[in-house]
Amino acid sequence: MTDRITVGRLCMVLGIIFAVTALRSVPEASAEQAGSFSGNWVASGKLQPLEFVEGRQVGTFKLAGNVSLTDEFDGIADFWVECIGLSDSVAGSSVRCVWRSLKGEKAYSVLSGQPLAEGVKVSGEFVGGTDRLTGVTGTFSFTWTSTFIDKDQGMFTGHTQDLSGSYRIP
C-alpha cells in the first residue's frame, strides 16, 4: 500500500512539474496594433552643398527635431526625429530617419520628395523599429509650411503642421 501511495504522489508531483513547465514556455500572445496619427514637426539642421552640374542644386543634409502628435502613435505622443539625406533639385531627395520615443523605442523611416523648401510635399514609409515598435510598417506625409535657409551658414529650419499617417505593428 505504501508503494502505491509513493507512486501516486510521484505521479502527481511529476504532473504538476510538467504542467508548470508547459505553462511557463507558452509565449505571451500579442495582438497586432494598427492606427493613424497626426501632428507637427519642427526640424533644423545643417546643409552641405555639393558642386555639381550648372543649374542643378545638390547637397547633403542632417536634420533633427521634435515630432509632437495630437493623435498618438501606439500611445506615443512625442518623438525626437533625426534624418540624413541627399537633396537634388532635379531628382528629388533620398532621406533616412530614426524616430526615437522618450523611452528609447525607435521607428525607422524612408522619405522621398523634392528639395527642402516651403510648400513641398514629402512622403514617408516606416520600414521597421525596435522594442515594441519592432516590425512597424506604414506611411505618412507632410508639407513644409514654413522654411528658412541660411546659405551662408548652411543652416535649415522647417516647420510642418500637417504631418499625418498610419501604422501597423505585428
> Would you call 65 exposed, middle or buried from its count of C-beta atoms within 10 A (0-12, 13-18, 19+)?
buried
Q: If pLDDT is split at 50, 70 and 90, which confidence band does 51 have? A: very high
Please give the DSSP secondary-structure letter assigned to residue 118.
T
Domains of the chain: 34-169 (2.40.350.10)
H helical segments located in 50-108: none
Q: Average pLDDT, stretch 135-156?
A: 94
Q: Of 28, 123, 140, which Cα lies nearest the Cα of 73?
A: 140
CA angle at 148 for the pair 152 and 163, rounded to the nearest 5° = 145
Q: Which of 6-10, 58-62, 68-72 has the lowest mean pLDDT?
A: 6-10
In this prediction the pTM is 0.79
Q: Average pLDDT, stretch 72-96?
A: 93
Q: Of 53, 50, 49, 78, which Cα lies nearest the Cα of 156?
A: 49
Q: Of 89, 79, 98, which Cα lies nearest the Cα of 47?
A: 89
Q: What is the mean pLDDT of the chain?
A: 86
Q: Average pLDDT, stretch 37-55?
A: 95
The pLDDT of residue 62 is above 90: yes
Predicted local confidence at residue 6, as pLDDT: 58
The pLDDT of residue 76 is above 80: yes
Residue environment code for 119-148, b if the CB has 16+ CB neighbours within 10 A, otherwise e: ebebebebeebbebbeebbbebebebeebe
